[in-house]
Amino acid sequence: MKLSRSIAPLLVALACFASAAFAADHPVIPLWPDGAPGSAGKTAPEKIRIGDAGDHIVSSVHQPTLTVYLPEKSTATGAGVLVIPGGGHREIWMDHEGYNVAQWLADHGIAAFILKYRLAREPSSTYRVEVESLQDTQRALRLIHSRTAAWSLDPARVGVIGFSAGGELAALVSLRHDAGRADAADPVERASCRPAFQALIYPGNSAAIVPTKNSPPAFLACGSDDRADISEGLAKVYLLFKQAGVPAEIHIYAGVSHGFGIRPTNTGAVATWPDRFREWLVQEKFLGSKPK
Amino acid sequence: MKPLRLLPLLAALTMLHAADRIPPPQAAPVRAINRDKSGPPIPDTPPVEKTHPPAILLWPNGAPGSEARQAEPEAISWRQEPDLVFPVISNIHAPSLTPYLPAPAKATGAAVIIAPGGGHMQLTIDREGYDLAQWLADRGIAAFVLKYRLARDGSTAEGAPQSYKVDVHALADARRAIRLVRARAAEWHVRPDRVGILGFSAGGELAILAALRIDAGDPAAADPLERINARPDFFAPIYPGGLANRENEIAKDKTPPAFLLCAYDDQMPAALASFFGALKRAGVNAELHIYDRGGHGFGVRTDRPDYAISGWPDRFVGWLGDRGFLQP
């Protein structure tokens, strides 16, 4: 114990270095340059710890950001995806549900934007999932929509993918979105926050996912050995999409638990879920042609 | 004129089948329910069953309840759908298995009995039968196409007895098929604990029945085959019928692992998702794939590469691999 305490500052320094290395490769854009609403006076620095398998795990987020992964121009499809990692609203696991996903998407011609959002279930957090975390999610989509020309994106093909707690946010923004305020002074606030599609990967709080007939098409995936509210719950969510007449696809992988994301160590059928997602995007015509 | 021209062909087919005493299917006229004028034209020539390995009778002395009709030839006719015309088999009174065996060096030990669909009126024998069997055999998986008795066969002459029931005669055929594969497992390089059943549509209903209504065999049976356990080691209903009210028939530790698959634009995705939930609640290992496009009755199709669902056989083999059924 004493030893680990003594090397703690070193670990923090290493973590900062690793974080900086990631940031150097991909631009990080603050969502609210003048400070996020509801975060005034919150000056605690962001924390990052390194998990046993080398994962970057972020907490104490008060300045939400987007990390941008753009595809090579020659392979760009014109589609973009907001990527929302999970972590139980206590922290954010940046690798298998963030960086790895964004890199995979960019490698397949899809622009990806990783959302670092405010955490409602950190000890002593004043944030709420349906207020600040949702605001960050909405703001992220508005920001992407406000820059589609610069990023060569088709605004009709910008969607969202979320994992676990991030899946909860992806589902939430698919239910609660607006076209933007035309009279807003901030150009970002004039943009829409409606995702064109939603991919919910082992999403939390599945009971709150009640789609309407206007909900964006949905891609659903999880493991059959996940908690009942996610595995069985996602099958129920699928029924609701079907009942609402919203195009939906579901893949539940047998013998698989929570949190597979995209990892080089994934094996078996579940390791190919990103291919299923991409096939679905193709079929739903989200990767169809480049924007004019 | 036409029957005369067909004679040499029929003679050749008769010889092909002579070894296993199953008469070749006889060309039958296209029934009204099999016509869909929006589809491609029905060919002028009668359909011929594609070349396949010799079939094996499930009951060489006649299936129970079919003894009087076992010598009747099967019927083959065209079926026309909006984007396909294909042969279908009916008038089945001598249920059989057609084995597609992998090269012994490639054999994984896994065996899949394939029950084609066709609404219990007929069998879509190619893309829901022989084509998948060949595809699986190419991947080291022994496959057996099941011709089961048809409970709603409209090809039977009016007035002729048509007394088959899905959960009696067709189910008996499915169980017998599982027993037969286990009985000859060593000869076919199959492991008797890796014998499953995959069925399409009406055949999917049969797969569900075989998996839920387990017949462990009768140790006192005179016929040694009937002493063998007919519980499949896995079942794979693909866009199946017969999903209603199954929850009470699912039994933890008894119901085998399940692979479930269909398309959103079919009639059963809600029922299939509910069935998954029931399996999950009972603690039965299950995998569910519902693609957003594909319709009904696609089976194995290589002419629709733009449909993601066309890759579904890889999902099935991936699942078999994840369960350890393909390990040497």
**Residue A234 has which token pair?**
């996602």
Q: What is the pLDDT of residue B161?
A: 60
Mean of pLDDT over chain B: 92
Question: What distances in angstroms separate CA B265 from CA A287, B200, B270, one per listed residue?
Answer: 21, 16, 11
Nearest to A284 among B286, B289, B292 (CB): B292
Q: What are the pLDDT digits (tens) for B89-109?
A: 999 999 999 999 999 999 999
Residue A257: list chain B partners with CB under 8 A: none
3-state secondary structure chain B: CHHHHHHHHHHHHHHHHHCCCCCCCEECCCCHHHCCCCCCCCCCCCCCCCCCCCCEECCCCCCCCCHHHCCCCCEEEEEEECCEEEEEEECCCCCEEEEECCCHHHCCCCEEEEECCCCCCCECCHHHHHHHHHHHHCCCCEEEEEECCCCCCCCCCCCCCCCCCHHHHHHHHHHHHHHHHHHCCCCCCCCCCCEEEEEECHHHHHHHHHHHCCCCCCCCCCCHHHHCCCCCCCEEEECCCCCCCCHHHCCCCCCCCEEEEEECCCCCHHHHHHHHHHHHHCCCCEEEEEECCCCCCCCCCCCCCCCHHHHHHHHHHHHHHHCCCCCC
Cβ neighbours for B60, distance < 8 A, ≥ 6 positions apart: B21
Question: How far is A205 from chain B, CA to nearest CA, in Å?
Answer: 17
SS3 content of chain A, % helix, strand, coil (to 5): 40, 15, 45
Question: How far is B276 from chain A, CA to nearest CA, in Å?
Answer: 7
Q: What is the mean pLDDT of residues A178-207?
A: 97
Q: What is the mean pLDDT of residues B17-46?
A: 84
Q: What is the pLDDT of residue B23?
A: 82
Q: Is A284 on the interface with B (CB under 8 A)?
A: yes
Q: What is the pLDDT of residue B168?
A: 97
Residue B277: list chain A partners with CB under 8 A: 232, 235-236
| Residue A57 three-state SS | strand
| Residue A139 three-state SS | helix
Please, which pLDDT band fits residue B22 given cuts at 50, 70 and 90?
A: confident
Q: What is the mean pLDDT of residues B258-281?
A: 97
Residue B18 predicted with pLDDT over 50:
no
Q: What is the mean pLDDT of residues B260-267?
A: 97
Q: Is A210 on the interface with B (CB under 8 A)?
A: no
What percent of chain A is modeled with pLDDT above 90? 89
Q: What is the mean pLDDT of residues A143-156?
A: 97
Q: What is the mean pLDDT of residues A85-109?
A: 98
For residue B99, the one-letter residue type is P
Q: What is the pLDDT of residue B170?
A: 98
Question: How far is B99 from chain A, CA to nearest CA, in Å?
Answer: 27
Question: How far is B279 from chain A, CA to nearest CA, in Å?
Answer: 9
Q: Which of B105, B83, B87, B96 is nearest to B36 (CA)?
A: B83
Q: What are the pLDDT digits (tens) for A67-79?
A: 999 999 999 999 9
For residue A253, give the chain B residue with the closest CA: B287
Cα–Cα–Cα angle for B142, B148, B149, nearest 5°? 175
More confident residue, A61 or A8: A61
Please, which pLDDT band fits residue A25 given cuts at 50, 70 and 90?
A: confident
Q: What is the mean pLDDT of residues B111-120?
A: 98
User: Model ipTM?
Assistant: 0.90
Please, which pLDDT band fits residue A153 given cuts at 50, 70 and 90?
A: very high
Residue A201 predicted with pLDDT over 50:
yes
Interface test with B, best of A206, A222, A229, A238 (most B CBs within 10 A): A238
Q: How far, in whole angstroms, is CA A73 from its chain's centroid?
A: 23
Residue A115 predicted with pLDDT over 50:
yes
Residue A253 predicted with pLDDT over 80:
yes
What percent of chain B is modeled with pLDDT above 90? 86
For residue A232, give the chain B residue with the closest CA: B277
Cβ-count burial of B68 within 10 angstroms (0-12 exposed, 13-18 middle, 19+ buried)? exposed
Lowest mean pLDDT among B10-24, B73-87, B187-201: B10-24
Residue B4 predicted with pLDDT over 50:
no
Residue A52 predicted with pLDDT over 70:
yes
Q: Which of A98, A202, A95, A96 is nearest to A140 (CA)?
A: A98
Q: What is the mean pLDDT of residues B195-223?
A: 98
Q: What is the pLDDT of residue A288?
A: 77
Per the listing, tokens 């398309």 go with B263
Residue B12 predicted with pLDDT over 50:
no
Per the listing, tokens 């005034």 go with A40
Determine contact, residues A76/A148, Cβ cutoff 8 Å: no
Residue A129 predicted with pLDDT over 60:
yes
Q: Can you name the residues that pair with A162 across neighbouring β-strands?
A: A84, A200
Per the listing, tokens 């011609």 go with A109
Q: Pairing between strand B258-263 and A198-201?
A: unpaired
Q: What is the mean pLDDT of residues A34-45?
A: 95
For chain A, the residue count is 292
Residue B202 predicted with pLDDT over 60:
yes
Please, which pLDDT band fits residue B160 given cuts at 50, 70 and 90?
A: low
Residue A60 predicted with pLDDT over 80:
yes
Please, which pLDDT band fits residue A17 given cuts at 50, 70 and 90?
A: very low
Please, which pLDDT band fits residue B163 given cuts at 50, 70 and 90?
A: confident
Q: pTM for the whole thing?
A: 0.91
For residue B249, how many other CB atoms are within 10 A of its CB?
16
Nearest to B277 among A232, A255, A279 (CB): A232
For residue B213, the one-letter residue type is R
Nearest to B264 among A249, A269, A276 (CB): A249
Q: What is the pLDDT of residue B328?
A: 85
